[in-house]
Structure 1
Amino acid sequence: MKILSEILKYFPYKYELIGEDNVMIQAIKVDSRDVLPGDLFVCIDGYTVDGHQYTEQAINNGAVAIIAHKPVSDERATKVYVKDTSEILSYLSSYFYDFPSNDFHLIGVTGTNGKTSITYLLDELFQLEKKKTGVLGTIQMKIDQNVYPIANTTPEPSYLHRHFKEMVDHQIDHVLMEVSSHALELGRVNGCDFDIAIFTNLTQDHLDFHETMEDYLRAKMRLFYQLGNRYSTLVPKRAIVNCDDPHHQSFASASSQPIIRYGLTNEADVYAEDINLDANGTSFKLTTISGTVQINSPLMGRFNVYNMLAAAAAAEASGVSLETIQRGFNQTKGVPGRFEPVKGEHGFGVVIDYAHTPDSLENVLSTIKQFAKGSIYLVVGCGGDRDKTKRPLMATVGEKYANHSIFTADNPRSEDPMQIIADMEKGMSSDRYEVEVDRQVAIERAVGMAKETDVVLIAGKGHETYQIIGDKTLPFNDYKVAENAIKGRGEHSSSEVSS
């Protein structure tokens, strides 16, 4: 709780005050529906809505002050006008909640792929060291052992710093955070004191937002600039980059902090040798700055080797022993919706994965290709109101690895799902595919086609438990649909035998 006059003293920009500045502020909110008595409401221009249109609702809910950059007519609350509310929100939130990111070890992970897996691996490693952790990312927010739903990969600043403060109150030691290119471009993480920044890779994604790959690259690099210039042995900062990615030097150059490189050659500081990939997992020799250990992990695929290398580099830089890293990788449970096999006695494989970019889809399919003894069936779609240029590329990748693809809906949002699929079809040069817009029917179709030794990959949604159609968010879970399809197939077979 802070008095508005104190908050205004901290403002880094020029402002205009209309009304009393002695009101007490309980919290900062950007969603008028979440406003409670005593809150400060900040009007943000979003993708689809403008917060300035909801000031009346915010005041009705108890907002005592409004920060805006457009005229607000309601006289019932104090108004503070600034040039850009989005620009000030991060700094304002960090100050209001007492700079919480200064009070724990904050690791940010950015890149096209691997962010979620790396944060989960680090979470497991720190817990093995008996540390209390917080996680923010695509799947959920976790504070110690408590989990909460989350709307964006990287939340807006008032939510972020409010929950950072909660983490401080819970005496969290390490916070592991996925940092999206959207968040970096929009300044959501300005004011966050990162101790380690990790770059995974950069492939095509989000060009609906960034327009060009150069814009996308520059947005990602902001995380590395944010590590700052101060070098300290008491609070060491590190920049960790995948040196096998062609963009890695841009990220290394963006930071003035010591660089730790990881990759699959001994030119890296943290690297893997003697890699063996099969249907039961992955084994390799892991070499870090501290030494070499053998890893025998249940995680599958070369992409997971990269994820483990990144996690190992960050964990070791954070004081985790190499012995703990080895133990953690060998017993990891993995991440929901990331190369997750669907259980059941069915004689063929069914895998759920979040792969929704051409690169991530190729990673997963190439891994399956290494152990699949039969045919590969792919169920895949592309999200609506998102980068249209990757749609034919997704289909082309499917055609390269899968024996048969089924194109279906995947969060079409405001777009016609058949038009999305038509865009995907442009990437096909054969007829080894079919169209089934109903995702449930598409999954059932693929499971029904599979024979013993075949593998079905259901790609694009992973951990998600919803389908966004139009302006509605409907319950949908790939894993459960596939599980029920497998059970239904078994029951059908049993009834045929009994008849």
Structure 2
Amino acid sequence: MQMKNFPSLRLLLHDWVTLSKTQDITCEKITLDSRTVEPGSIFFAIPGLKEHGKIFMEEALSKGARAVVSDSLDENHVDILNYAEKKIPLIYIQNLKKYLGCIASRFYQHPQHTLDLIGITGTNGKTSCSHFIANALRDYGTPCGVIGTLGYGIGAHLHPLNNTTPDIFTLYHILRELHDQGARCVAMEVSSHALKQERIQGLKFKVGIFTNLTQDHLDYHGTMEDYAQCKKSLFHDYPVQSAILNIDDPHGLTWLDTIPEEIKKQAYSLHEKASSSYPLTHVQSFNSNKDGVFAAIKTPWGDGVFHSPLLGKFNLSNLLATLCVLGTYPIPLPEILHLLSQLDPVPGRMEKIGSKNQPFIIVDYAHTPDALQKTLETLRPYCQGALWCVFGCGGNRDKMKRSMMGCIAEKNADNVILTDDNPRDEDPKEIIHEILRGFKNKNNIVVEHDRRRAIFHAINCAKNEDIVLIAGKGHEHYQQLGNKKIPFNDSLEAKLALENRTT
């Protein structure tokens, strides 16, 4: 993205400090990350999870930062620092974090004002929903960008991101870029971290979606109550025109009645007998097999039938959420059903690998207890032989879910292979040990820390009528050991294993 007119520092911060003409400078870039500072940048130093940005001020200045803006416990004021024969404004603003959205919006010339923003929050389903919505809208002729776990962009080629929802300056930068590329709307994942850290300040959503809430991220939130409250805040702390909630989840069912009256509300459900005092989209009947799902549905816009190549009831639930969004535009129901039938699986989400006369291989991002259980339960009816499960748990993440996932794997799979999944700074043996606590019978569990060998072992041992689920990493293209990310992809490894299969 090339911005033609850079704002002045006086214009950017005029609500909080008054800068003299000699203190004023042109702002060519704003950043919260000293590693991304370039000559002409303004570095914003705020408290982080572990450290305060102030400790990186020297690094920022050495890279050419022209000013530093930081939070202050005292009154707003401006100091001058003599650095490398230059006078650098040091600007202190009380409660700076609360104003970052306004500052970002000014710098990037308010891109959100001309975009329909569709925010999706929930434990599982955010990535699939965001891509289904973006792809369906694009197929209908409405250019739609996407921001989330797989990256950001318009179309299939996405730019990678470090976080599901990026920091607030990066987020506005991306919105500006998508706007300039012709996007009219953006489907974005809104993580609980982003809501807790107020990374979406200043954004107004045409639609907010809640998919579900199950255990995850307790290493960060501490309690399920805090985790739930963060998800709920999307509908209470931010302007949302329409709220679409999954009432199969007890949180969604309860939250519908608590959402402010001025917000339009819709509900969706997989259950034939579902009822709601709000406009409801629900399944009347469905059946599924390895070729996908066939569903008859009832909506506020009429009834219909469609077929999707996607696997699983949870994908059908994601399709219902997508349908509700498309209905708000509005798009005629027959066209919506056609668009849904054309949607392909998202990479690493119930991704099918292989062909006939081979084991049925599924690569999925399932890395929570609920997701692993639903994925295994989805695959069981299609399995004529044995159901294999290859998985591990991430290091430096919620430890409470490890034994739970072990218990789920033992109950729902015939053969389990435990392996490494981004151990990060933890001892991989200790992670596996904690997973094993969930098993009643550990005798038949295979432990293979080398994930490549684990995948090869499962596929090589599996028979043609078996199903092999490789869970946890999905789309990821790396295995993280310590601070190093080593190239690795489950789908690629599964394909190589099938090519070299000896049975």
TM-score, normalisation: structure 2: 0.91
Note if 1:240 corresponds to 2:240: no
User: 2:267 aligns to what?
Assistant: 261
Counterpart-to-counterpart distance in 2, 1:444 and 1:399: 20
Aligned residues: 481
2:449 to 437, 449, 468: 437
User: Of 180, 183, 189, which aligns to 1:178?
Assistant: 189
Q: Which residue does the alignment assign to 1:330? A: 341
Name the residue aligned to 1:448: 460
Cα 1:19–1:362 shift into 2, 3 Å: farther
Q: Report the 3-state secondary structure (helix = DSSP H, G, I; strand = E; otherwise coil) of the residue aligned with 1:41.
A: strand
Deviations 1:232-282 (A, max 9, x none): xxxxx2000011111114432134301100002341511112110211100
2:159 pairs, out of 148, 156, 162, with 148
**Aligned match of 2:76:** none
| Counterpart residue identity of residue 154, structure 2 | I
Q: Which of the residues 382, 405, 415 maps onto 2:426? A: 415
* SS of 1:247 mapped into structure 2: helix
Q: Separation in 2 of the partners of 1:293 and 1:104? A: 30
Pairwise CA distance, 1:56: 1.9
- SS of the counterpart of 1:106? strand
State the TM-score, normalized to the length of structure 1.
Answer: 0.92
Determine the C-alpha separation between the residues in 1 that align with 2:46 and 2:114: 28
Q: Does 1:462 align with 2:470?
A: no
Verify the 8 A CA contact 2:308 2:343 in the aligned structure 1.
Answer: yes
CA deviation profile, 1:417-446 (whole Å, cap 9, x unmatched): 111111111111123422111111111111
In the TM superposition, residue 44 of structure 1 has moved relative to its aligned partner by 3.5
**Amino acid in structure 1 at the alignment position of 2:500:** G
- Indicate yes or no: 2:9 matched with 1:4: yes
Q: What's the secondary structure of 1:332's corresponding residue?
A: coil
Counterpart check, 1:80 vs 2:88: no
Instruction: Decide whether the 8 Å contact of 1:196 with 1:227 is kept in 2.
Output: no
Question: Where in structure 2 are the equivalents of 1:50-69 lying within 5 Å?
Answer: 50-69=52-71
Paired residues for 1:89-488 under 5 Å: 89-143=100-154, 147-228=158-239, 237-252=241-256, 253-256=258-261, 257-265=263-271, 266-268=274-276, 269-344=280-355, 346-431=357-442, 432-488=444-500
Tell me the secondary structure at the aligned position of residue 109 of structure 1.
Answer: strand
Question: Hey, what's the Cα distance between the residues in 2 that align with 1:65 and 1:115?
Answer: 37
- Report the Cα distance in structure 2 between the residues aligned to 1:166 and 1:438, rounded to whole angstroms: 40
Structure 2: distance between partners of 1:86 and 1:18: 24
Once residues 347 and 497 of structure 2 are traced to their aligned partners in structure 1, the CA distance between those partners, rounded to angstroms, is 19
* 2:222 aligned partner, one-letter code: E
Aligned match of 1:30:
32
Counterpart contact for 1:16–1:81, Cα < 8 Å: no
Q: 1:79 to 1:16 in 2, by over 3 A?
A: farther
Secondary structure, counterpart of 1:284 in structure 2: strand
- Counterpart code for 1:69: D
- 2:140–2:339 Cα contact (<8 Å) kept: no
Coordinate RMSD, CA, aligned? 2.1
Q: Check 1:35–1:271 CA distance in 2 against 1; reply closer, same or farther (3 A cut).
A: same
1:294-346 residue CA offsets vs partner (Å, 9 max, x unmatched): 11110011101110111101111122221222112212111000000112455
- Matches of 1:58 and 1:18 in 2, distance apart? 23
One-letter amino acid matched to 1:130: G
Please give the per-residue CA displacement for 1:372-424, whole angstroms capped at 9, x wherever unaligned: 11101111111111111011111111111101111111111111111111111
Residue 202 of structure 1 and its aligned partner are, at CA, apart by 0.5
Q: Which amino acid aligns with 1:474?
A: I
Residue segments in structure 2 that go unaligned for 5+ positions in a row: 1-5, 74-78
Residue 42 (structure 2) aligns with: 40
**Aligned partners of 1:204 and 1:29: how far apart in 2?**
33
Counterpart contact for 1:125–1:320, Cα < 8 Å: no
**Partners of 1:2 and 1:24 within 8 A in 2:** yes
Structure 1 range deviating more: 131-140 or 56-65: 56-65
**What is the alpha-carbon distance in structure 1 between the residues aligned to residue 431 and residue 307 of structure 2?**
41
Tell me: CA distance 1:213–1:16, structure 2 relative to 1, closer, same or farther (3 Å).
farther
**Structure 1: how far apart are the matches of 2:428 and 2:49?**
21
Give the Cα–Cα distance (whole angstroms) in 1 for the partners of residues 438 and 18 of structure 2: 54
Q: Which residue of 2 aligns with 1:234?
A: none
Counterpart secondary structure, 1:82: strand
Partner SS state of residue 10, structure 1: coil
CA distance in 1, matches of 2:66, 2:133: 41
CA offset at residue 227 of structure 1? Answer: 4.4
Secondary structure of 2:82's aligned partner: coil
Q: Which of 343-352 and 25-34 deviates more? A: 343-352
1:85 CA drift (Å) = 4.3
**1:223 deviation in Å?**
0.9
